Chains A and B, each alone.
Chain A
Amino acid sequence: MIELESLTKTYTLGRQRIVAVSDVSLRIRPGEFTAIMGKSGCGKTTLLSLMGGLDRPDSGHIRVNGQDITQLADQELTRYRRDQVGIIFQFFNLIPILTVAENVALPYSLQGKSSADIWERVQALLRDVDLLERREHYPHEISGGEMQRVAIARALINRPRLVLADEPTGNLDSRTGHQVMEIMAELSDRHKTTFILATHSEEAASYAGRRLLMRDGSIRSVEESQEGT
């Protein structure tokens, strides 16, 4: 269960103060596939950053399975990111010097575990995203859609409870975007992982069971869908 309580985050840009997230309260059930929609600058990415422990709110609380992550020390927050969260970015953000398999194994390797321990899991995930053949390739040797699939596999390697995807199809053509969303929906279902998706694409959002609309840092409406996963 993820609970957001009166979450607020502001940024200072030059002399201007910008409210990115304003008094957001929300509950997301385990295994739920949620899409946060809204125009650029509405606060979607900031909300995701806060839930992923990439940033701290100015006020409010985020409880993940009862643990308030806003109260965690830096090291604990890092551990939270590593063990409980998977992140998928719009620009894939693969590490260019690592191969496909190494990129997938990265969160595991950061724990000091040898690749032999996780090889089976890396293989399984690469098979899930249909990239096993490409495991020795470097990111610049594969296409955008493939890169995003690697990023999905990387996000799932630690069996996280929560996967955050920031505009995962924003940099892909519609056909590839569709494939990527299919894979995400299927994996979310299979692994019973909570997926939160920030997007302004209606099509991408259509895969979600619940859709939240954000404007000016606040959630304006919530829409449940029977078709979504």
Chain B
Amino acid sequence: MLRLWRWFSFRHLRSYKGRALLCLLGVALGVAVFIGIKTAASSAMSSFQATVTSLAGTAELQVIGQGTGFPEGLYATVVSADGVRAATPVLEFNVLAAPPLDEPLLMLGIDVFSDQEFRQYQFIESEQTSGAILSFLTEPGAVALTEKFAERHGLNLNDQLEIFAGSKRLTFTLRTLLKLKGPARALEGNVALVDIATAQEAFDRIGRLDRIDLLLEEKTSTKMVVEDLRKLLPADVRVEEPNQRLGRIQEMVDAYRLNLLALSLIALFVGIFLIFNAVAFAVSKRRFEIAMLRVLGTQRWQILGLFLGEALIVGLLGAILGVGLGLVMAKLALKAMAQTISELYLLVRAETLTLSPLVILLGTGPALGVALLGGLVPSLEASRTLPKEALYRGTLERRLHMNIGKVSLVGGVVLALGYLCSQQPPVDGLPIFGFVAAFLILAGFSFLAPASVLLVNRVLAPVLARTFKLEGQMASRYLGRSLNRSAVAIASLMTALAMLISISILILSFRQTVVVWTEQIIAADIYISPAGRITGQRGGLPSKLVDSLPQLPGVTAVERLTETPIRIGEVVALLDATDLVVKEKFGRIMYRRGSSRDIMRRCREQGQVSISEVLSNRLGLGEGDTIEIPTPKGVESLVIAGVFYDYRTEGGMVIMDQSTYRRYWPEDRRYTSVALYLDSNADPEEVRAQIRRNLDQSQEVFITSNRELRREILRIFDQTFSITYALQIIAIVVAIFGIVNTLILLVRERERDIGVLKAVGATNRQVQRMTVLEAGLMGFISFVLGTVNGILLSLLLIFVINKQSFGWTIQFSIPPGMLGKTLILVLVCSVLAGIAPARAAVSKKVSEVMRLE
């Protein structure tokens, strides 16, 4: 067997490098996406884990506040609780180092004395820094940075570090450098240490803490300490073990990852067709060789092994290439992944990739499976071919023609199974059955491809014959006759197109929904927010500024907003407290049911709340239900007045009136953003300039116009989906190459026919036009089938997969412009794909072909 492979398979692969490379690319793409996404996700996770564990140090339990934290008086309560051996207070801020540094920093306010038992900071000792540690404690503006961060930005001791904390611009002096060890490793070294008193003062948090880390006495039950502490602490303060944070983030990353993984499976799916094509090509090309081998006594299983072996070699090489590509892709996806984690949980800065052998195995395994699956049918055909039969071409074609009924029946059954799967509920919040249904739809359509090609071809045949005369007629007939080749190429392009069309419909429908939504809800003329607005930033706007706004000329109304993350059960959501009286009059919230004015009035007058659709789905709560919200005053049960559409967060939102918020969060005096409604004749630019003039030197805010904010939302939206577009384009290019591949194969099989045509007077141009027309026809039929398939898939994506994983309502719409553009793209690409085979078709002299006789 080995000798057979060496003599036949390797030599053939060497002679048809281009074709082998194409298959290799198809498989590599699938593997790359799989490994890329998995590796990026696990790298982001491990970076997150490293941050969490290095920041937690030796802490066994953490008391964590939300929003603006909790009063420092609780520290005494916690320290004196049973079972607590040691405690240290912490303030945590995500700040933005001012330009030109422009990087996020995690600023930790610590109590150096009590902290020592928890974390081992290593300071760089030098003459210059002697006494630095001391000054770190005594000097109010002192900060310690990691050596890595300082080096990257050329910062030396005693240099100034400017940061944005909310709308404040703060200046610190670099007094000490930290080695990149222990807690300083968090966020890849983007850590700044200050004394806790300095932090409280600088960030207007006097008397408040974010976290208390705890060490427990030996032989104490952690569970009991947690229970005791919960009794002593307000409802919005959590007690948990450091690694509990990891479990929650894992779930979120899983949901995000699943969508991209589905994409990688589709790419692998295209790979199956490519391999099928390549092996079918090899079988056709080597009919004579198979026959001779069979005549010489080679067993059927050996022939099967020979061709399957070739498919496996291609699969294996594709997998190896895929691993390399995957790592490049992981590097690119890592940033996006880290950003998603940062948005909801903790600022994460992931730079290094974590390689897992298991992921690589999981990625390459399916590639080999794909290779086997793609190679199986043509290899089986090769092995079953009688020596006599192998001398004639067309045996495969006749077989497939006879089996069209059966193949279509299988397609129908697979589609029916797909429908059943789409009706199933999610598994652990994940749309597992939805993805199975997507796969079954793609598979079902592929099985239906031969029959559909015949059908569409029959409809198009008269049009082609009328428009393109004999060339059109022959292109259409040839296509119908070479179904076993053309249907596979068409199915492969159809799959890639279905993927492009379905995801485009999803994205464009989603985008259209968001556009309508932003037009309705972004009703104010100007929005003001703190300049240091980065993930997890909890700073507010200067109160003097907020108070001055109603008096500004041209301002009709001011809507103040306080945004704070809250935990409801296991769900992290955003709480938006707003001036509903203003919103009711000037703005809008899109509710899924009921009158918006009425709901807002109930929220204002009766202390009810509105929740977003996503949160409603996650918690299983709707209008009229009560929602339990942890507040500093205890867990409050509030009535849900309405459920509104919102596309800002994956976690969901709660909206309440400012008066309700102040009742439960009396300590929080922040306004995290403000919306201004102007007179109809006011000049927004003038108002903007006036606001700027009212600011102190040390304050920095973002002032955004209505239009800019809408544009920014759409920019972020488009950016989020850019990676998907790139992947789809690659899949289509690979599938188009599949058409080139198939046509070259078909031209080779029709060499004699082409010779006859030329012998009886066909010009080269006529033969070329025939081939190019056939390519265009294949592209067109792929488009028709891909569109039907894509629309079905998009319905599944929007109404099943999206609903189950995110719960957003997306208004389904098919953008005709997108379909038109796709059709042009496909026709242009497939006609271009026909050019090389068309050249090949006329490259041989008629006499050379005829001499075969």
Whether A75 lies near B763 (C-beta < 8 A) is yes
Whether B477 lies near A97 (C-beta < 8 A) is yes
With beta carbons under 8 angstroms apart, the residue of A89, A98, A107, A111 that contacts B477 is A98
A7 to chain B, nearest CB (A): 14
Report the Cα distance A3→B480, complex, angstroms: 45
Whether A93 lies near B470 (C-beta < 8 A) is no
96-129 of chain A: CB within 8 A of chain B: 96-98, 106-107, 109-112
Whether B845 lies near A78 (C-beta < 8 A) is no
With beta carbons under 8 angstroms apart, the residue of A83, A90, A95 that contacts B761 is A83
Q: Interface size class for chain A?
A: 20 to 34
Whether B847 lies near A89 (C-beta < 8 A) is no
Report the Cα distance A109→B853, complex, angstroms: 26
Does A82 make an interface contact (CB < 8 A)? yes
Does B758 make an interface contact (CB < 8 A)? yes
Which secondary structure dominates where chain B touches chain A?
helix
Whether A54 lies near B847 (C-beta < 8 A) is yes
Whether A87 lies near B763 (C-beta < 8 A) is no
Does B469 make an interface contact (CB < 8 A)? yes
With beta carbons under 8 angstroms apart, the residue of B761, B763, B764, B847 that contacts A49 is B847
What is the 8 Å Cβ interface bit string for chain A, positions 161-188, against chain B (1 contact, 0 not)?
A: 0000011000000000000000000000
Our count of residue pairs bridging A and B at CB distance below 8 angstroms stands at 82
Chain B residue nearest to A112 in the complex (CB):
B469
Whether A54 lies near B759 (C-beta < 8 A) is yes
Most interface-central of B477, B753, B853 (chain A CB within 10 A): B853
Which A residues touch B766, using CB under 8 A?
A: 110
Whether B477 lies near A78 (C-beta < 8 A) is no
Report the Cα distance A87→B758, complex, angstroms: 11
Does A134 make an interface contact (CB < 8 A)? no
Which A residues touch B762, using CB under 8 A?
A: 78, 82, 110
Report the Cα distance A45→B757, complex, angstroms: 18
Which A residues touch B481, using CB under 8 A?
A: 96-97
Whether A78 lies near B758 (C-beta < 8 A) is yes
Whether B846 lies near A54 (C-beta < 8 A) is yes
B761 to chain A, nearest CB (A): 2
Does A81 make an interface contact (CB < 8 A)? yes
Whether B469 lies near A52 (C-beta < 8 A) is no
Does B825 make an interface contact (CB < 8 A)? no
Whether B846 lies near A55 (C-beta < 8 A) is yes
Chain B residue nearest to A155 in the complex (CB):
B760
B769 to chain A, nearest CB (A): 11
A82 and B761 in contact (CB under 8 A), knowing A55-B847, A110-B470, A166-B853? yes
Whether B756 lies near A93 (C-beta < 8 A) is yes
Report the Cα distance A94→B755, complex, angstroms: 11
Chain B residue nearest to A99 in the complex (CB):
B477
A81 and B760 in contact (CB under 8 A), knowing A89-B850, A96-B753, A110-B470? yes
Whether A97 lies near B478 (C-beta < 8 A) is yes
Whether A95 lies near B753 (C-beta < 8 A) is yes
Chain A residue nearest to B478 in the complex (CB):
A97
A82 and B760 in contact (CB under 8 A), knowing A45-B853, A95-B753? yes
Whether A109 lies near B470 (C-beta < 8 A) is yes
Does B693 make an interface contact (CB < 8 A)? no
Which B residues touch A74, using CB under 8 A?
A: 764
Which A residues touch B469, using CB under 8 A?
A: 109, 112
Report the Cα distance A5→B752, complex, angstroms: 30
Which A residues touch B152, using CB under 8 A?
A: none
Does B17 make an interface contact (CB < 8 A)? no
Report the Cα distance A145→B752, complex, angstroms: 20
Chain B residue nearest to A102 in the complex (CB):
B473
753-799 of chain B: CB within 8 A of chain A: 753, 755-764, 766
Whether B761 lies near A81 (C-beta < 8 A) is yes
Whether B845 lies near A107 (C-beta < 8 A) is no
Whether A89 lies near B846 (C-beta < 8 A) is no
Report the Cα distance A81→B757, complex, angstroms: 11
Report the Cα distance A52→B474, complex, angstroms: 25
Whether B853 lies near A78 (C-beta < 8 A) is no
Whether A78 lies near B847 (C-beta < 8 A) is no
A106 and B760 in contact (CB under 8 A), knowing A45-B851, A49-B850, A90-B853? yes
With beta carbons under 8 angstroms apart, the residue of A75, A93, A158 that contacts B752 is A93
172-227 of chain A: CB within 8 A of chain B: none
Which A residues touch B853, using CB under 8 A?
A: 45, 89-91, 166-167
Chain B residue nearest to A87 in the complex (CB):
B759
Report the Cα distance A174→B758, complex, angstroms: 30
Report the Cα distance A111→B845, complex, angstroms: 21
What is the 8 Å Cβ interface bit string for chain A, positions 42-53, against chain B (1 contact, 0 not)?
A: 000110010010
Report the Cα distance A172→B757, complex, angstroms: 23
Which A residues touch B470, using CB under 8 A?
A: 106, 109-110, 112
Chain A residue nearest to B481 in the complex (CB):
A97
Which B residues touch A91, using CB under 8 A?
A: 853
Whether A97 lies near B850 (C-beta < 8 A) is no
B582 to chain A, nearest CB (A): 74
11 A-B pairs in the complex with CB atoms less than 8 angstroms apart: A54-B759, A54-B845, A54-B846, A54-B850, A55-B847, A91-B853, A93-B756, A95-B474, A97-B474, A110-B761, A110-B763
18 further interface pairs, Cβ-Cβ under 8 Å (given A93-B752, A112-B470): A54-B846, A55-B847, A82-B760, A82-B762, A87-B759, A87-B760, A89-B850, A89-B853, A91-B853, A93-B756, A93-B759, A95-B474, A97-B478, A97-B481, A107-B760, A110-B757, A112-B469, A166-B853
Interface residues of A (CB under 8 A from B): 45-46, 49, 52, 54-55, 74-75, 78-79, 81-83, 87, 89-91, 93-98, 106-107, 109-112, 154, 158, 166-167
The 8 nearest A-B residue pairs measured at CB: A82-B761, A55-B847, A97-B477, A49-B847, A109-B470, A93-B756, A54-B846, A54-B847
